[in-house]
Amino acid sequence: MAQTVDLPSWLTGECMQQDADAVLSPSERRDLYRIAGIMIPASEEFGVPGADDPAIFADILRSLGRDLDDVRAALAQIAASAGGDFTTVDEQRAEALVMQACTRSDAPAVALSRAVLQCYYRDDRVLRSLGHEPRAPFPKGYSVEQGDWSLLEAVRGRPQLWRDDRAG
- Given a contact cutoff of 8 angstroms between Cβ atoms, the answer to whether 120 and 63 are in contact is no
Q: What is the pLDDT of residue 45?
A: 93
Check residues 97 and 21 and name the one with the higher pLDDT.
Answer: 97
pTM score: 0.73
Q: What is the pLDDT of residues 63-122, one digit of tens each?
A: 999 999 999 999 999 999 999 889 899 999 999 999 999 999 999 999 999 999 999 999
pLDDT digits (tens, 9 = 90+) for 46-65: 999 999 999 999 999 999 99
